[in-house]
Every structure is written in C-alpha cells, then in structure tokens.
Chains A and B, each alone.
Chain A
C-alpha cells in the first residue's frame, strides 16, 4: 500500500511540474485584460506539488501495512482489464458492434465457461440490440467496420 501511495503521489507531483512548466510558458501574470491563461493552472500546479509532497511525507513515515493488491487478487482484475483493452483496440478496425460481439463471446466462454449456445446468443444478441437502439431508434452513430459496410450501413 505504501509503495502504491508513494508512486501515485510522485506521479502527481510530476504532473504538477508539467502543469507549472506549461503555465509559465504561456504566462502567469497580468495581461492587457486580466490574468493571463497560465494564471489559474499555475497555482493549481503549485498546490498539487505542495499537497502531494505532504502526502509523500505522510506515506513515508507510516509503516508499510497490507499490500496494495495481492497476486491472487490482481489476477481477476487483469482478466477483466486486458480483454476490455483488446476490445477497445479492435473497435478501430472492426467497428464497435463486431468488437463487442467478439469481446462478450470471448469473455463468457473463457472467463465464465458458459455453454456455446449461451455464448453465441449473448454475443450476437447484445450487439444486435445495441445496434437497433443506437443506429435505428436514437440515431446516434457508433464506429462501424467492414461488416456494417458490407451490410450496407
């Protein structure tokens, strides 16, 4: 837990530094008609660095307690996270509907060990309902791929 605390605070300090740097670049003082663009972010960056510095100190002095996450606990988190990431990668070339069909099917089969009938039903049914709801009823277009083009959308 302590290591994660230290790492997060350090990262945020780094972010604060970037903010301060960019704000100074565009000007933090008084322009012709009021404070310049960098004024507000500059002080936010300073506040961020100061507060995270205090958190660093606080975390440093505290004894290490329970770990942030154990190996056994992390495994299920990753089994959710990486297929989801893969789906987001797939959306670009394949379109949202195909990507989500593959994702739902894969996750149900691999993560939940469901029977093939249920897998196919959900993997086809859920994206199909989404398609009808968004493209037909609400007219909110989603990213589409070759399959939709082939079908004429």
Chain B
C-alpha cells in the first residue's frame, strides 16, 4: 500500500484534461462561493447533471475542485464584505472584516487563503494514510455495523449540533420520510404515493439541496435586506509575499487549527464548530487576546485553517464508509451512485484509479486553487458588485435549470420552489437543514441496513448491541442522542449556570 497508490493517483490527476477540469471547477466554485444563495452543496448539485457523461474520475475531480473553490470563495466575502458565504466562514469575519476596513484586506485575504491551503493539505495527507486503513476495517462491517454508523452520524447532529435537539431530530426524520416516498426496492411496493404518478419517483435530494440552499438562501438574504458594501482588496504580489513572511510566526495556530479541523471534520457538521473552536483556542493562547475581533491576523488564520481541514476531512467517511460528512459530500456521494460506483470500502479494491485519482487531485486541486484565488481576487470580488436585481433572477434561473436537468422532469422545478420556501421557513425557525439533506441521501441505505440486520437477527434489535463493533458504535450514538437531556441535568448537579447556545449551527 501507500506510495505506489498515490503515485498511480498522481498519474491520473495530472493528465492535461483532469488539470483543466480542476481549473474550471475551482473557477466556478469560487464564483459560486462568492455569490449569495449559492454555496458548495447546491453548486455541486447544479453541476452534477453535467458530469453524467464524463468519466467518473474527471467528474469527481470537477465536483471536488468546485468544493475547494467554494471554500476559498467564502473567505473572500467574509473578509471584504463581512458576509459569511458559508456558516463556517462566520468566524473569519470577526477579524477579517476589521482588517479589510483598516486597508489590510490584501493581507487578510492572503492569510485566509494560505491558512485554508495549509488546513486542506494537512487533512489530505492524513486522508492519504488513513483512508486505506479505515476502508480495510470497514470491509469487515456488516449491515448492523453500517446501521450503527448511520445512527452515530445522525446522533452527532442531535447531540453536538448546537441547535435545538428536538428540531434536529425532526429534520432527520423528515428527510428519512421523504426518502421513503416512492417505490420500495426491496418489496416492489409503492409507499406514500396515494395514487399520484409524480410521487412514484420520490424526491430527489439534488433538487432538495438546490431548493433549500439556493432559493431558500435568496429569500433569506432579501429579507435581511443585504446590501454589499465592499472594501477594496488592495491585493498585489508585494502584499502576498510580505504576508507570507509574517505567517510562519503563527505556526502553532496552524497546527492547532489543522488538528481541530480534521478531528471535528470527519464527523458530520463539523466544519462550523471546528472554525469557532479554533478561533477560541487561538484567542485563549494568544499573548494579545484583546486584539482579537479588532483585526488580528491570527484571528483569520485560526478559523480558516480549521474550516478547510474539516471540509477536506468530510471526504474521508464518504469514500471509506459511504457515509458523507457534510451536505456537499452527500451530493458527491449521490454522484458516485449515479456514475455507477458503489460508495464504501470496496471502492478501494474495485476502483483504485478512482479513489487514488481523487486523493491525488485533492493535492493538485488545492495547489491550483490557492494560486488562482490569490491571482484573481479582484475579479471574484467584482462579482458581488453586480446589482442584486440581476443576481437574484440569475440565481433562480440557474437553480431551475439545475433541478430540471437531474431527471428532465418539470415537477422537479416545482419541488425546487417548494423546498425553497420550506428552507426559508426552516432556517427562520432553527430547523437545521444539513441533517435533513443527509437523511434524504442516506434514507435508502439506512433502511436497507436496518432491514438486513433485522433479517439476520430474526427481528431482534439486540443485534445492534451484541456484535462488538456495532455495539460500541451504537453505545456512542445513544450517548449523543441523550446528551441534550443529560447536559442541563449535569449542569444543575454541578451548580454552573446554563451556557448560551453556541453560534455555530450546521
């Protein structure tokens, strides 16, 4: 294992076509990350239909590059416009925007991009070594273990998500219910269609992602009356080189952020808490904590490193276990299935060229990405100067096109619109959207794992406890599920006041 595999990967990732695909992906991704209403998840969803005819490896390189681009793009809006494009960019605005206001936007952006790159690279290196090991272990997993992992995935949203645990649970259940609509592939029976032909196909999560995150986000941003008052970038080669001279000083923050990011990131919804946690740690260990929030470069380095390390780490469970760590990874997982690949540990044995091409492209993609965003920041920032009355219909049209292209069906455009309104209402009422999307994607897989487990055990739920690996995972999952009940109780016991709910919710 190891070296010759990654070497094989690089041979695939460095072909001219795949490099071209990566450049296109990063370009589009950064634009998508900068635009309000479009982010990694729905950007990938909209482009997914265009990849149906491409070779799978090039297709995944396009989509992952788009994802890296969107991650970079989020930093641009956070620093220059004080608008976090993604939830995990929120912490970047704390010090990024003050820096930009002081005329040091170029410095802040260079720091943000470089930190993103370092965080991403760190996670990629870890994935290179850990992914084959994890896949090896996962090969021994049966249906009970997979169901237990699903349980763990969703329990971490309820227990660690930071929002209202009841509402997280509702989002998960709603996703599973919508996933069950249509034909039951095991028995061939129609479920919850009530005689409507259109419901037979069920709900496609790609359409849901486009509606929830695309249309819903647009509705939210017009309600908040967003106006883009940007500051100048002030970006040139001198600034970049000067900032690079300062950055090694923060090596501790880089290391800390990378570890926090990777550790939080391969669990679902980890990028946002990781960025906040990294920021808090940097502030606590800093010699000048009072400078944080007023334009401290370290306050940009910390959250960006962690957010990108987490964003990349979300790919790890997707390729090894077939369970995505974030909505964007969920959409990519959907892509794998459409391209005819079976996500999960077998991928390493059956499609090594795909897996290692993907991993190698994570190196090349991030290197290309950081160079491109550094070079083209003024161009990307100019996108936000497009009047809102042009951007809004443009994004709606792009969303409609993307929804239709999934199945060539008109009803999907209507679903997109409905999901948009649902996304708007849910966001306002604090129902988290990420677990909903993940449940919609994983619905069939989870149900099949549960059914097969029950068949193995003749209908006894004890199978999830008696098998050692499944039992351990189930125990952790159950602990997360009851965590929201335990925490207030524990605090009362120790007599500490209840904490304010954390700002991060994904």
- The answer, yes or no, to whether A31 is at the interface (CB within 8 Å) is yes
Q: List the A residue with the shortest CB-CB distance to B193.
A: A22
Interface size of B as a range: 35 or more
Partner of A126, one of B180, B186, B194, B394: B394
Contacts A26-B191, A85-B417 known; A44 to B392 CB distance under 8 Å?
no
Q: Which of A23, A40, A73, A103 has the most CB of B within 10 A?
A: A40
Per-position binary interface string of chain A over residues 68-109, scored 1 when its CB falls under 8 Å from any chain B CB and 0 otherwise: 110001101101110111011001100010001001100110
Q: List the B residue with the shortest CB-CB distance to A108.
A: B389
Residues of A within 8 Å of B225, CB to CB, are 73, 76
C-alpha gap A12/B223 in the complex (Å): 25
Residues of A within 8 Å of B392, CB to CB, are 80, 107, 111
Residues of A within 8 Å of B459, CB to CB, are 30, 35
Binds A, one of B73-81, B214-222, B267-275, B330-338: B214-222
C-alpha gap A117/B405 in the complex (Å): 31
Quick check: A100 and B400 within 8 Å, CB to CB?
A: yes
Per-position binary interface string of chain B over residues 416-438, scored 1 when its CB falls under 8 Å from any chain A CB and 0 otherwise: 01000100110011010000000
- The answer, yes or no, to whether B401 is at the interface (CB within 8 Å) is yes
- The answer, yes or no, to whether B167 is at the interface (CB within 8 Å) is yes
Interface size of A as a range: 35 or more
- The answer, yes or no, to whether A145 is at the interface (CB within 8 Å) is no
Contacts A87-B400, A88-B413, A103-B397 known; A40 to B219 CB distance under 8 Å?
no
Quick check: A4 and B429 within 8 Å, CB to CB?
A: yes
- The answer, yes or no, to whether B246 is at the interface (CB within 8 Å) is no
Quick check: A4 and B428 within 8 Å, CB to CB?
A: yes
Partner of A96, one of B194, B404, B425, B452: B404
Quick check: A37 and B417 within 8 Å, CB to CB?
A: no
- The answer, yes or no, to whether A116 is at the interface (CB within 8 Å) is no
Quick check: A51 and B170 within 8 Å, CB to CB?
A: yes
Contacts A55-B167, A85-B417, A130-B397 known; A48 to B425 CB distance under 8 Å?
no
Quick check: B404 and A142 within 8 Å, CB to CB?
A: yes
- Write the nearest CB–CB distance from B500 to chain A, whole angstroms: 16
Contacts A18-B192, A69-B428, A130-B397 known; A48 to B421 CB distance under 8 Å?
no
Q: List the A residue with the shortest CB-CB distance to B194.
A: A22
C-alpha gap A4/B429 in the complex (Å): 8
- Write the nearest CB–CB distance from B204 to chain A, whole angstroms: 15
Quick check: A41 and B180 within 8 Å, CB to CB?
A: yes
Residues of A within 8 Å of B50, CB to CB, are 138, 140
- The answer, yes or no, to whether A122 is at the interface (CB within 8 Å) is yes
- Write the nearest CB–CB distance from A24 to chain B, whole angstroms: 12
Quick check: A26 and B189 within 8 Å, CB to CB?
A: yes
Residues of A within 8 Å of B396, CB to CB, are 80, 84, 87, 103
Per-position binary interface string of chain A over residues 1-35, scored 1 when its CB falls under 8 Å from any chain B CB and 0 otherwise: 10011001000100100110011001000110111
Partner of B397, one of A48, A114, A126: A126
Residues of A within 8 Å of B242, CB to CB, are none
- Write the nearest CB–CB distance from A106 to chain B, whole angstroms: 8
Which residues of A line the B interface, CB within 8 A? Answer: 1, 4-5, 8, 12, 15, 18-19, 22-23, 26, 30-31, 33-41, 44-45, 47-48, 51-52, 54-55, 58, 68-69, 73-74, 76-77, 79-81, 83-85, 87-88, 91-92, 96, 100, 103-104, 107-108, 111-114, 122, 126-127, 130, 134, 138-143
Supplied contacts A22-B194, A54-B166, A108-B389, 4 more A-B pairs, CB within 8 Å: A48-B174, A92-B410, A104-B397, A130-B401
Q: Top 5 A-B pairs ranked by shortest CB distance?
A: A112-B389, A34-B455, A37-B189, A107-B393, A100-B397
